[in-house]
A and B are shown apart, each in its own frame.
Chain A
Amino acid sequence: MSGVTTSARGFNLKSWLAERGVDRLLILLIPAFLAMVAFFIYPTMYGTYLSFHPMDAKSGALGNYRSFFGDPYMRDSIWNTFRIALPVSLINVFAAIPLAVRLRHRVRGKRTINTLLVIPMSLGTVLVAEGLSAYLAPNGWFNRTLLATGIIDQPLQLLHNFWGVMISLLITGFPFAFLLTLSYISGINPKMEEAASTLGATSWQRFRYITFPLLTPGLAITFCLNFVLAFSVFPSANLLGNPAGDSHVLAVAAAQAIVNNYDYSMASAISVITGGFELAVVALVLVMRSRLYSGSTSGGKG
């Protein structure tokens, strides 16, 4: 018998799976999947389950949600969170664009600038918040410099209010937005801009009509990731903000439910509400994104 005939004997798992469009190597994903079930899916589902079983069993399944939305102080935490997360993510994304546009080519000092930008990200929010609480204090370097140069005559109140949280989130979120934007922008074939320039487009027109439209889908993703990070702000709201007042964000509300009242059920309900708003914003952005061109940006044969 020649060696080229296909064996019909026995059961071949690989080809059985292949016929059904399943790659056998997907088996390798099982450990990761199990880890996800154990550390993400189960806790999320358990948290959701908890949120529908309030400490005060008489108030019914929706008791936590009813008391959250019924309490103006709690209800305001939604607005407090949006008020910080939305502007922070928008500023981060839009500030990242010009820098990424400049730094996508070989530029002198590119490494230094990259390193400087990445450091805050690797330090972590707590350390940055700690540092800022000294630096931005009424007798900290920032105010002292402004006072000494005569720009202001009263120290600026940048701590324990909205601005402290805002500044800290800008510092930790911007590098993230910048690196993502840079990688998206580097994926755009520079030949396209060259083609546009031979067709008469100035550098602004090339950005406006070529680079920006091709970058927008990436910016939408960058915004979503930044927004989710900022929306769950906790350390800087506690350390630099006014966690009882205008920095009473959703994460702080959830933590207080546990720390002050030992109410895990209420904390879970607040987390579910947080997740719901995040999902709603992300879904809205992604729907808008799907209406844009989101194919290859490398040009040439697709």
Chain B
Amino acid sequence: MALSNLSLTIGNGEFVALLGPSGCGKSTALNCLAGLLPLTDGSIFLDDRRIDTLPPERRDFGMVFQNYALFPHLTVRQNIGFGLKIKKVAKAEIERRVSAAINLVQLSLHADKHPSQLSGGQQQRVAIARAIVIEPQVVLMDEPLSNLDAKLRHEMRSEIKRLHRELGLTTVYVTHDQEEALSLADRLVVLHDGKVQQIGTPEDVYMNPTNSFVADFMGYRNMISMDLVAGGSAGKYSLRASGLELTASNLFSGAAAGKVRVAIRPEDLLVENALGNNISCTVKSVEYQGKDFAVEVSTEQGITLHIRTPKKLEVGQSTNLTVPSERVLVYPDSDK
């Protein structure tokens, strides 16, 4: 359907995030894993067992849904115990494990309430407890935090991190929020248009996006069309655009002399005078953002750049920017 060529091996206890904008196929991938969508092609193995031919109820995956999908006619305790009851676990054992799960997600005070009596965050905790109490081989989470407000989202993020650390459950987590993915995952899979763009550790994906799409998605707001001058020595590539000259220390695959796309993160543009990569510009707008300022500047030739700086700049003021050559990422022009 909306997904092609996803090949991934997930280690035991690993936390993998599928990251991408809406419509990139990440939820499709998760639903295929869970067995809720049929796989048109390819296969899924759990250890050495092929599972893509099994219906969802026989895959032994716990799933946390975006809208929680709690059973409204059952109490918190019954919701969490549902999977164990279906699996015909002994009553005393169910009691023990459900109570443990309720404590784990800190809902002891709400155990006998119905879902409609709980807040969004509490409902999310029930959904998580319900998925992990069956001790599944893999936990699947489909944008579990997207319906919560910012503060709660942060709290639940730490909570998920803590649960993963304590229980060591193999987790596949779908999100469109790169901050969420960076902070939670051991490994990121960036998807776009149903195709894998990059697989790597959070640091890897954040610092070295493999193409301009990933760079754009990971917050490299400055995307400049430039010319790569032929004949640069290794580790020193010259770039030119109208009135702008930069040096980059490495090129991404496919970038060759001629038109290229240059990606620079706002945080990497520093407000100071330096010998290399000096950009003179005028401040166009300043947004106060608490710990720093988001500033929009323009070069004399009219190239707009976004920077983040703790320095207080005034609109209309002239200033100099610099960027380390290793933070100038050069991509071929064709991929967008």
**Chain A contact residues, CB within 8 Å of chain B:** 189, 191-192, 194-202, 205, 209-210, 213-214, 292-293, 295-297, 299-302
Contacts and interface: CB of A to CB of B under 8 A. Distances in A.
A279 B229 CA distance: 90
Contacts of B68: 299-301
A210 B71 contact: yes
Contact of B82 (A196, A213, A292, A293): A196
Contacts of B58: 200
A302 B69 CA distance: 11
A293 B70 CA distance: 14
A214 B72 contact: yes
Contacts of B59: 198
A200 B114 contact: no
B115 A199 contact: no
B73 interface: yes
A202 B55 CA distance: 9
A202 B68 CA distance: 20
13 contacts: A191-B65, A194-B56, A194-B63, A194-B65, A195-B70, A197-B55, A198-B131, A201-B82, A214-B72, A214-B73, A297-B72, A299-B71, A300-B68
Interface of B: 34-36, 55-63, 65, 67-73, 82-83, 86-87, 114-116, 120, 123, 130-131, 134, 140, 147
Given A197-B56, A200-B86, A302 B73 contact: no
Contacts of A297: 72
B34 A198 contact: yes
Given A200-B57, A202-B57, A300-B67, A295 B72 contact: yes
B72 A301 contact: no
Nearest to A210: B71
B69 A299 contact: yes
B82 A209 contact: yes
A302 B57 contact: no
Smallest CB-CB A-B distances: 3 pairs: A302-B116, A293-B73, A199-B83
Contact of A299 (B56, B70, B83): B70
B82 A199 contact: yes
Given A189-B69, A198-B59, A200-B57, 19 more contacts: A191-B69, A192-B69, A194-B65, A195-B69, A196-B82, A197-B56, A198-B56, A198-B57, A200-B86, A200-B87, A210-B71, A214-B73, A293-B72, A293-B114, A297-B72, A299-B67, A300-B68, A301-B147, A302-B116
Contacts of B83: 199-200
A184 B86 CA distance: 25
Contact of A301 (B55, B114, B120, B140): B120
A295 B114 contact: yes
A198 B62 contact: yes
A292 B56 CA distance: 29
A132 B203 CA distance: 77
Contact of B86 (A191, A201, A302): A201
B57 A195 contact: no
A159 to B, nearest CB: 45
A301 B123 contact: yes
Contacts of A205: 86
A192 B71 contact: yes
Contact of B115 (A194, A213, A214, A302): A302
Contacts of B61: 198
A296 B57 contact: no
B65 A195 contact: yes
Contact of B36 (A197, A202, A292, A301): A197
A195 B58 CA distance: 13
Given A296-B116, A301-B123, A201 B69 contact: no
Nearest to A191: B69
B36 A295 contact: no
A213 B56 CA distance: 22
Query: Interface centre among B61, B82, B87, B123, by most A CB within 10 Å?
Result: B82
Contacts of B120: 301
Query: Interface centre among B116, B140, B147, by most A CB within 10 Å?
Result: B116
B72 to A, nearest CB: 6
Contacts of B140: 198
Nearest to B58: A200
Query: Interface centre among A196, A198, A202, A301, by most B CB within 10 Å?
Result: A198
